[in-house]
């Protein structure tokens, strides 16, 4: 009897911890902004957020690559807002075609894991035709990131053969778990 009561108490405690850790963190997409620098190569069809409910916003991106490309540098830069966006921690350039053959760089692997399952970038170069990210949302894994509370911008520049072709900028808000 005593030990089963202990068990119930333990289970209840565990539930409270799990419940708190998944609900007291706010992590949401707040804005997206895409731009093609070269409309004869990249046509952006959609780049928008859609609110599904109070807690969930999804990102849809769809662009047409009018010519195939076999040479892609993906430039990821993270900014944190504090009276203007200031560079914050991440600033990496990844060889996209090499990455698609064999993933490398821990930061790139983490960032790609956020949108990989929602996108048709699931083969090696060349990338050609419609490239999309469909109904992407931030998973709970991403929410476990040890980020300080704030507004962030992840700016991604796509460079083909050494020339910038388009940008996908995603802003998000993170509010730390202050309860525990």
Ligand X SMILES: *[C@@H]1O[C@H](CO)[C@@H](O)[C@H](O)[C@H]1NC(C)=O
Q: What does the binding site for ligand X look like in residue numbers (CB under 6 A)?
A: 33-35, 38, 40-41, 45, 62, 67, 79, 85, 120, 122-123, 130, 132, 134, 155, 163, 167, 169
Q: Residue 70 Cβ, how far from ligand X at the closest point, in Å?
A: 14
Which of 110, 161 has the CB closer to ligand X?
161
Say if CB 177 and CB 24 are below 8 A apart. Answer: yes
Q: Residue 26 Cβ, how far from ligand X at the closest point, in Å?
A: 23
80 to 56, 66, 70, 115: CA distances (angstroms): 22, 34, 32, 21
SS3 track for 23-79: HCCEEEEEEEEEEECCCCCEEEEEEEEEECCCCCEEEEEEEEEEEEECCEEEEEEEE
Among 91, 61, 49, 60, CA closest to 74: 91
Which of 6, 35 has the CB closer to ligand X?
35
Which of 20, 45 has the CB closer to ligand X?
45
Q: How far apart are CA 154 and CA 87, in angstroms?
A: 10
Q: Residue 56 Cβ, how far from ligand X at the closest point, in Å?
A: 19
Say if CB 126 and CB 69 are below 8 A apart. Answer: yes
Which of 41, 137 has the CB closer to ligand X?
41
Q: Residue 6 Cβ, how far from ligand X at the closest point, in Å?
A: 48
Which of 80, 176 has the CB closer to ligand X?
80
Which of 23, 45 has the CB closer to ligand X?
45
Q: Residue 12 Cβ, how far from ligand X at the closest point, in Å?
A: 42
Token digits of residue 45: 């069809």
Q: Residue 99 Cβ, how far from ligand X at the closest point, in Å?
A: 16
- Exposed/middle/buried for residue 122 (C-beta within 10 Å: 0-12, 13-18, 19+): exposed
């Amino acid at each position: 009897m005593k030990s089963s009561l202990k068990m119930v108490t333990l289970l209840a405690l565990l539930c409270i911890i799990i419940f708190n850790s998944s609900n007291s963190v706010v992590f949401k997409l707040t804005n997206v902004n895409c731009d093609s620098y070269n409309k004869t190569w990249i046509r952006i069809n959609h780049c928008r957020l859609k609110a599904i409910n109070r807690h969930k916003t999804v990102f849809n991106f769809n662009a047409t690559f009018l010519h195939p490309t076999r040479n892609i540098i993906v430039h990821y830069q993270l900014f944190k807002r504090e009276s203007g966006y200031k560079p914050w921690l991440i600033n990496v350039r990844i060889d996209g075609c090499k990455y698609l053959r064999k993933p490398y760089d821990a930061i790139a692997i983490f960032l790609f894991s956020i949108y990989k399952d929602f996108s048709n970038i699931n083969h090696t170069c060349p990338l050609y035709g419609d490239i999309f990210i469909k109904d992407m949302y931030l998973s709970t894994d991403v929410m476990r990131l040890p980020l300080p509370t704030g507004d962030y911008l992840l700016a991604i520049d796509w460079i083909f053969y050494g020339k910038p072709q388009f940008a996908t900028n995603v802003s998000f808000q993170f509010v730390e778990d202050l309860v525990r």
